[in-house]
Structure 1
């Protein structure tokens, strides 16, 4: 006879969280640069937030911090770009899954599972699509603060637009990482 199921016996997934308010595109890029110091080959970074939140700007900072080649721009229409390292660091694979409707099956053509062990893979709009790639991932949620800007265009990024960035490290890889070091 099996022992009764106990919730205490279930494995727990470690989570580490840090939060910061960012007040400009330059600060978002700087945050990416600081965060890059925490990244290593095999890391999966999932970015989410509304259009114009600063996902690509954060990725641009990650690329600068990792010392990769090429201008980091939104890969919306090409879906993925690989930026090789100019140093001894890992390449940056930047994916925009916005136009992809399905889950991991639709993304298989990108061979992210092949790239992941040697690269830092950053996926914009990856929720529900790439979580199966790794038990360990860094989720970055960027929220725009309503009323932070004065313009009427919701996609316009103004100098004084505020963003709240929440970093959540999921899995054993992130259990001992001090994410607060990236946000201070």
Structure 2
């Protein structure tokens, strides 16, 4: 998930919104940590569970990365109340599905699935959160809105359609 985030960083620009969905331990924060590395932002990217949002400025003059944990938020209004600079930042919202009404017209919806009951790796194969780094994930990317129209590999999906990318790293 880290490598996937780092690779996706090259496709993102100021104003882009990424919504991450997946169960606890799926790799949402690991993905965002990789995105931060790819964007070359300052500060350690960790889960903003208790602060709701963290801003990581770019070290190379690019847009900041804003990492939001919407788990405790009840609506798009509460997300909007965080006063995030969506137009000038790259924003990642964990647990944000269904909270985008009126926030933006384009976003990437990334759903991460992790097989239940998968084997545990040896302690050296675990990340800081105790997650198996080698456990395969299934990632479904669904682009929404005009920002992604015509972007190679990110054609907007028709209603109910999703694109799959299978990762084993």
- For Structure 1 versus Structure 2, the TM-score category normalised by the shorter chain is 0.7 to 0.9
8 Å contact 1:45–1:121 — kept in the other structure? Answer: yes
TM-score with structure 1 length normalisation? 0.75
Aligned partner of 1:70 in structure 2 is 43
TM-superposed CA distance for 1:135, in Å, is 1.1
After superposition, what is the alpha-carbon deviation per residue over 1:14-44, rounded to whole angstroms, capped at 9, x for unaligned? Answer: xxxxxxxxxxxxxx11100110000000001
**Residues 111/54 of structure 1: CA separation in 2 closer, same or farther (3 Å cut):** same
Aligned partner of 1:106 in structure 2 is 78
TM-score with structure 2 length normalisation? 0.81
- Structure with larger RCO (C-alpha < 8 A, sep 6+): 1
User: d(CA) in 2 for partners of 1:174 and 1:42?
Assistant: 12
**Residues 131/156 of structure 1: CA separation in 2 closer, same or farther (3 Å cut):** farther
User: d(CA) in 2 for partners of 1:131 and 1:144?
Assistant: 28
When the two structures are aligned, how many residues end up with a matched partner? 150
The runs of at least 4 aligned residues of structure 1 exceeding 4 Å deviation read none
Structure with a larger share of its residues in helix: 1
Q: List gaps (5 residues or longer) in structure 1.
A: 1-27
| 1:140 correspondence with 2:113 | no
8 Å contact 2:4–2:31 — kept in the other structure? Answer: yes
User: d(CA) in 1 for partners of 2:17 and 2:130?
Assistant: 28
Aligned partner of 1:160 in structure 2 is 134
User: d(CA) in 1 for partners of 2:9 and 2:153?
Assistant: 11
* Correspondence list, 1:36-55, <5 A: 36-55=9-28
TM-superposed CA distance for 1:131, in Å, is 4.2
**Residues 62/149 of structure 1: CA separation in 2 closer, same or farther (3 Å cut):** same
